[in-house]
Amino acid sequence: MAGPADVSDRRKIRIKVPALTRVEGEGALDLSIRDGRITELKLNIYEPPRYFEKFLEGREPAEVPDIVARICGICPVAYQMSAVQALEQIAGFTPSADLNKLRRIMYCGEWIQSHALHIHLLAAPDFFGCNSITELARSHAAEVHRGLLLQALGNDLIALFGGRSVHPVGVKLGGFHRVPDQAARTALADRVDAALPAAAELVRWCASLPLPHDDQDFVSVSLRHPSDYPITGGRLLSDTGLDVDISEYQQHFVEHQVPHSTALHALLNHEPYLVGPLARLNLNRDRLPAATRALADETGIRFPSRNMFHSLVARALEIHLALTEAARLLAQPDDDDSLTTPASPLPAGTGFGCTEAPRGTLWHRYDTDADGLIANAVIIPPTSQNQSRIEQDLHRSLTRLGLNRDADSLRLRAETVIRNYDPCISCATHFLTLNLVRDTSPTDPSDRRPLLLLGTGSALGTDSRAPQLVTALARDPTLQPYIADGRLRLLASLQPLRDGLSLADASARLVVLDTLSGTPTAGRLRHLRLNGAEPPPAWSSHQLSLPQLAELRTLVGVDQPLELLALPPAPTTTPDGPVQATHVAVVRDWLLTQLVARTAVSDTEPADKSDPA
């Protein structure tokens, strides 16, 4: 690795993190530093999408718990619970107090198991210079054994209700296939009570670790319940004033795709936000049981906290909370032994479910058809909600650490920052490979073809959205270096070309920016490479046809397939209202990915995949 940096160098650092976030599998962190500033920071997710939301269509509601459990091996219970909540709403079924109690115990088991695994297997080794829990066990055997004991107890609580802790089989619409008897509950309750002192010690140990000071501004989002610490339900709250029913989620939180990720990013009012243990604690400290709250106070940390490194302590506190709840609820006898079941098949309808998975708010929506089968599913996991926040955090954290630090320090800080979020497959954090390239020349991209972005429409008339957007992009500071060295050309209309402007480079990429007519939500960009086939009419409000495309290509003088970049219609009352800042950002981000060198993994764009469907 390289030594201390010379700030005047045009220094480019690429950090690669394999296996990152909820979507498990390959992920990379791209970091570019130039002249002492971060110019590019992207969390790239390469995990192949498994298309759960699509193959849920046409399935019976009774199958949904078994299906969605397979989204995540560490938190299957969370998926099952959010799902049954939504489906029971469609059925018009209200869980009894007994059922809510039993579900809460099972969910506590998952919190205990997941948090204990994260703290000991994934996070703790860092604070002792170890690479793994097995190394840590040599120097801190007692703490490791304590962690494994808590993890096993969590697993057994889940298995009490579901037979096994990974993809348990007990949850169903209307309740459980088998309710554990009192003897089984009592046996587990004894173990839970016996574990409380260990959980308290764990909180103290976590608070004693050398956690960096790194306060940042961020928005915390979680559920909130009238009386309990939120696990199984509540209203959606933020610490900036949001307080809505879960059915309104899609009106406030927008998912959009970024080019470097196969997981959709979510924004609240166009801003990144945090879900997870720290967000929950920030919003619900007053809901902690007395003993847990006393422990929180004992740590000396003031909650709400702005320091993501306190997430570790938040997790330990939540283990204590979950054990306390489980002990309390296991001891409560059932009011009513009977279990009712919702009528089958379900009616046509829409249902929402939102619960707090170990990693944060997990939101489901299902629509059923007239046959009572699933017609549509939307599932928004906590880790994808955190992705924008992780990027924002890395940006600020690394800048604050000092971008002139050596490569190893930067890499280690990035690792620990990512780990605070406990992305669901946190294995990444140990494998940041830092390739430090010191050069004084412009970045060395794999694709040096100039890119010409052309906004269709008329800058003067009502059809001015794309030209206005191109004009806004021309003013964007991050694009200036590329415009200056000729790698990016922005044209707000065809007129200069008709007037005789020529582009010398026939290999240039011609990308036409256009407005999509009639489809989904704001922020989504669609990109097509047109290999001679006519685009489907729905893609282009200008109904770009083959002859017009041919004219464009001749006019511009390029010999490459034309590319179409289509914006969704603006959600304003006038079809061509003021250019939205979101769309400028989305198109700019896309341009940056095209202009800056990409990693070996992402620079293959299978041409046949971009043919119009």
Partner 1 sequence: MKPSVAVHKFSSCDGCQLAFLNLGEDLLALTELVDIRHFLEAGLAEEDAKVDIAFIEGSVSTSEDAARLRHIRDNSRHLITIGACATAGGIQALRNLHDTTGWTAALYASPQYIDSLDQVTPIRDVIPVDLELWGCPVNGRQVIAAVQQLLFGVAPPRQQDSVCLDCKRAGNTCVLVSGNAPCLGPVTHAGCGALCPAFGRACYGCYGPLENSNTEALAQQFARLGLDAAAITRRFGLITSGAEPFAGTVAKWRGLPT
Q: Which stretch binds partner 1 (CB under 8 A): 274-282, 333-341, 401-409, 425-433?
A: 425-433
Residues 284, 416, 426, 493: which binds partner 1 (CB under 8 A)? 426
Q: Closest separation between CB of residue 254 and partner 1, Å?
A: 12
Task: Say how far apart CA 260 and CA 46 lie, in whole Å.
Answer: 8
In the block, residue with structure tokens 């009528």: 343
Residues 36, 259, 349, 481: which binds partner 1 (CB under 8 A)? 259
Q: How far is CA 258 from CA 157, 250, 255, 266, 570, in A?
A: 39, 18, 10, 10, 18
51 forms part of the interface with partner 1 (CB under 8 A) = yes
What the block records as the tokens of 196 is: 């409380």
Task: Say how far apart CA 595 and CA 613 lie, in whole Å.
Answer: 27
- Name which of residues 558 to 597 contact partner 1 (CB under 8 A): 590
Q: Which stretch binds partner 1 (CB under 8 A): 73-81, 302-310, 442-450, 486-494?
A: 73-81
For residue 206, give the nearest of 149, 285, 140 by alpha carbon.
140
613 forms part of the interface with partner 1 (CB under 8 A) = yes
Residues 28, 105, 264, 511: which binds partner 1 (CB under 8 A)? 264
Residues 7, 35, 177, 184: which binds partner 1 (CB under 8 A)? 177
Which amino acid appears at position 141 of this protein? A
Q: How far is CA 288 from CA 59, 291, 495, in A?
A: 39, 8, 65
Task: Say how far apart CA 235 and CA 25 lie, in whole Å.
Answer: 33
Residues 74, 189, 221, 410: which binds partner 1 (CB under 8 A)? 74
Provide the β-strand partners of residue 13: 436
431 forms part of the interface with partner 1 (CB under 8 A) = yes
Residues 30, 53, 143, 391: which binds partner 1 (CB under 8 A)? 53
440 forms part of the interface with partner 1 (CB under 8 A) = no
Task: Say how far apart CA 83 and CA 379 lie, in whole Å.
Answer: 9
- Where are any strands of DSSP class E within 269-418? 349-357, 360-368, 374-380
462 forms part of the interface with partner 1 (CB under 8 A) = no
Q: Closest separation between CB of residue 99 and partner 1, Å?
A: 16
191 forms part of the interface with partner 1 (CB under 8 A) = no
252 forms part of the interface with partner 1 (CB under 8 A) = no
Residues 283, 403, 434, 525: which binds partner 1 (CB under 8 A)? 525
Q: How far is CA 371 from CA 61, 237, 344, 346, 349, in A?
A: 11, 35, 10, 8, 11
What the block records as the tokens of 67 is: 């299906």
Helix, strand, coil in percent for the chain, rounding step 5:
45, 20, 40
420 forms part of the interface with partner 1 (CB under 8 A) = no
131 forms part of the interface with partner 1 (CB under 8 A) = yes
What the block records as the tokens of 239 is: 């610490």
70 forms part of the interface with partner 1 (CB under 8 A) = yes
Closest to partner 1 by CB, 68 vs 491, is: 68
For residue 565, give the nearest of 500, 490, 504 by alpha carbon.
490
514 forms part of the interface with partner 1 (CB under 8 A) = no
Instruction: Count CB atoms within 10 A of the CB of residue 215.
Output: 13
By the 8 A CB rule, do 437 and 13 touch? Answer: yes
Site string for partner 1, 202-231 (x = CB under 8 A): ------------------------------
Cβ within 8 Å of residue 583, ≥6 positions away: 469, 523, 567, 570
Residues 61, 170, 535, 561: which binds partner 1 (CB under 8 A)? 170
157 forms part of the interface with partner 1 (CB under 8 A) = no
Q: At what angle do helices 182-208 and 311-331 cross, to 10 degrees?
A: 160
- Name which of residues 349 to 378 contact partner 1 (CB under 8 A): none
Q: Closest separation between CB of residue 458 and partner 1, Å?
A: 25
475 forms part of the interface with partner 1 (CB under 8 A) = no
Helices and strands: H and E segment counts in the chain: 19, 19
Closest to partner 1 by CB, 115 vs 524, is: 524
Closest to partner 1 by CB, 479 vs 528, is: 528
Instruction: Count CB atoms within 10 A of the CB of residue 99.
Output: 21
Q: Mind giving me the DSSP string for 299-320?
A: TTPPSS--BGGGHHHHHHHHHH
425 forms part of the interface with partner 1 (CB under 8 A) = yes
446 forms part of the interface with partner 1 (CB under 8 A) = no
155 forms part of the interface with partner 1 (CB under 8 A) = yes
Q: How many residues bind partner 1 (CB under 8 A)?
A: 80
b/e per residue, 556-585, with b = 16+ CB within 10 A?
bebeebbbbbbbbbbeeeeebeebbeebbb
338 forms part of the interface with partner 1 (CB under 8 A) = no
529 forms part of the interface with partner 1 (CB under 8 A) = yes
Task: Say how far apart CA 29 and CA 32 lie, in whole Å.
Answer: 10
532 forms part of the interface with partner 1 (CB under 8 A) = no
54 forms part of the interface with partner 1 (CB under 8 A) = yes
Residues 35, 92, 134, 298: which binds partner 1 (CB under 8 A)? 134
Closest to partner 1 by CB, 95 vs 175, is: 175
526 forms part of the interface with partner 1 (CB under 8 A) = yes
Q: Which stretch binds partner 1 (CB under 8 A): 102-110, 142-150, 352-360, 385-393?
A: 142-150
Q: Which stretch binds partner 1 (CB under 8 A): 158-166, 203-211, 276-284, 328-336?
A: 158-166
Q: Which stretch binds partner 1 (CB under 8 A): 295-303, 453-461, 522-530, 543-551?
A: 522-530
Closest to partner 1 by CB, 50 vs 448, is: 50
Residues 14, 25, 216, 588: which binds partner 1 (CB under 8 A)? 25
For residue 193, give the nearest of 336, 62, 320, 20 by alpha carbon.
320
In the block, residue with structure tokens 């961020």: 218
For residue 281, give the nearest of 242, 243, 231, 246 by alpha carbon.
231
Closest to partner 1 by CB, 477 vs 606, is: 606
Q: Which stretch binds partner 1 (CB under 8 A): 143-151, 208-216, 467-475, 577-585?
A: 143-151
Residues 6, 35, 55, 139: which binds partner 1 (CB under 8 A)? 55
166 forms part of the interface with partner 1 (CB under 8 A) = yes
